[in-house]
Amino acid sequence: MRKARRSGRVTLAEVAREADVSAITVSRALRDPEQVSKATMERIDAAVRKLGYAPDMAARALASRHTNVIGVLIPSVTNNVFSDVLRGIYDALDGTRYHLQLGNTRYSVLEEENLLRIFLSQRPAGLIVSGIDQSPATRAILENANCPVVQIMETGPDPVDMMVGFSHREGAKAAVAHLAEAGYRRIAFLGARMDPRTQRRLQGYQDALKQYGLGEDADLIVTTPRSSSVTLGGWLFGELVSRRPDVDAVFCNNDDIALGVLFEAQRRNIAVPHALGVCGFNDLEMMASACPSLTSLRTHRERMGREGIDMLIRAIEDDRPEERVVDLGFEVMRRESSTGPAR
């Protein structure tokens, strides 16, 4: 006779025996109490509590061929931008039956592809991915995943399935337009980690310059492939000033850079906003508290997370929203750092 290889855990069968019903009844009672009579429900409840039963997710997934796992892929856990999105995601998940499985792609399309394969091998109920710059292979995987998919952070013309975000190009354009309208004329672009999303912000910057008849000047665009930080903002600004001492405003690819610019300007006794206008991107919490307070483009990160999950869950539960692409827009938060140059 073969050996039993039980794991020591309490199983449905044992609960069933204790409650004097069949296993399937316990299974039903746990998943949908409505389907079971009140009396048996009570006995089952008691048995569950007495034995300390906890369902085995693996067995459940195997038998039902689905899980309540929602896979979320973000490019960075260190970036404040994504932590806000995550907060929205957690909030939206609260009280639902879905769990979160988080993957960190570290801005690598290859890692994204690998993580996606791993996720799909767990039969997720739905997937959330960041951005619209998936590799063709990743895109193919997503299109064949037999679960709903939401792309967040950005909108674009060709959603895999659903989308919630905003146009980074339009956002950047609006921010730079604000600097131009405030009277700044030699507006620089400071950018770190020049990924496709940042490239689109650069395009928005160029769009605005053109619109306001401010000729382009390659010296005013200072970028680096390194990932952004406050310190890096200071360096980029130093480089900019050495190239073009007459620069009168900077549009920063994100808020860390902008804060670094502010500190470096203070160090060099360059007055913000009279000698230098500063504008960031994302509007992290600190921007409003800085001295002077820092202008930035507010993006609705928490909402992207929350609405992404809402759309996903609706799709999972066969109640797809009508609009497949939701544009949450942005808002230029005008503050002291961009009130205009001295005249």
Partner DNA sequence: TTGTACGCGTTATCAG
Partner DNA sequence: CTGATAACGCGTACAA
Q: Given the complex with DNA, which of 37 and 231 has the nearer CB atom?
A: 37
Distances (CA, A) of 59 to 63, 88, 127: 6, 31, 22
Which of positions 22-61 make contact with DNA (CB under 7 A)? Answer: 22-25, 27-28, 30-31, 34-37, 39-40, 53, 55-56, 59-60
By CB under 8 A, residue 120 contacts a second copy: yes
Q: Which one of DNA, a second copy, none is in contact with 2 (Cβ closer than 5 to 8 A by kind)?
A: DNA
Residues 330, 296: Cα–Cα separation, whole Å: 10
By CB under 8 A, residue 135 contacts a second copy: no
CB of 42 to DNA, least distance (A): 10
Q: Given the complex with a second copy, which of 6 and 343 has the nearer CB atom?
A: 6
- In the numeric block, the tokens 């679960």 are attached to 147
Q: Which one of a second copy, DNA, none is in contact with 4 (Cβ closer than 5 to 8 A by kind)?
A: DNA
* Contact (Cβ atoms closer than 8 angstroms) between residue 93 and residue 125: no
Q: Given the complex with a second copy, which of 259 and 315 has the nearer CB atom?
A: 259
Q: 201 is written with which tokens? A: 């912000």
Classify residue 121 by burial, with Cβ atoms within 10 Å: 0-12, 13-18, 19+.
Answer: exposed
Q: Which one of a second copy, DNA, none is in contact with 35 (Cβ closer than 5 to 8 A by kind)?
A: DNA
Per CB under 8 A, the list member of 104, 199, 203, 224 interacting with a second copy is: 104
CB of 122 to DNA, least distance (A): 12
Residues 82, 98: Cα–Cα separation, whole Å: 20
* Contact (Cβ atoms closer than 8 angstroms) between residue 240 and residue 205: no
- In the numeric block, the tokens 């394969």 are attached to 117
Annotate each residue in 4-23 with x if it binds DNA (CB under 7 A) or - if it does not, as one string.
xxxx-x-xxx-------xxx
Sheet of 187-191: strands edge to edge? 221-223, 187-191, 249-252, 277-282, 295-299, 330-333
By CB under 8 A, residue 13 contacts a second copy: no
- The SS3 call for residue 134 is coil
Classify residue 179 by burial, with Cβ atoms within 10 Å: 0-12, 13-18, 19+.
Answer: buried
CB of 222 to a second copy, least distance (A): 17
Residues interacting with a second copy, by CB under 8 A?
A: 5, 7-8, 54-62, 65, 67, 77-80, 83-84, 86-87, 90, 99-102, 104, 106, 117-118, 120-123, 146, 229-231, 233-234, 256, 259-260, 262-264, 266-267, 285-286, 288-291
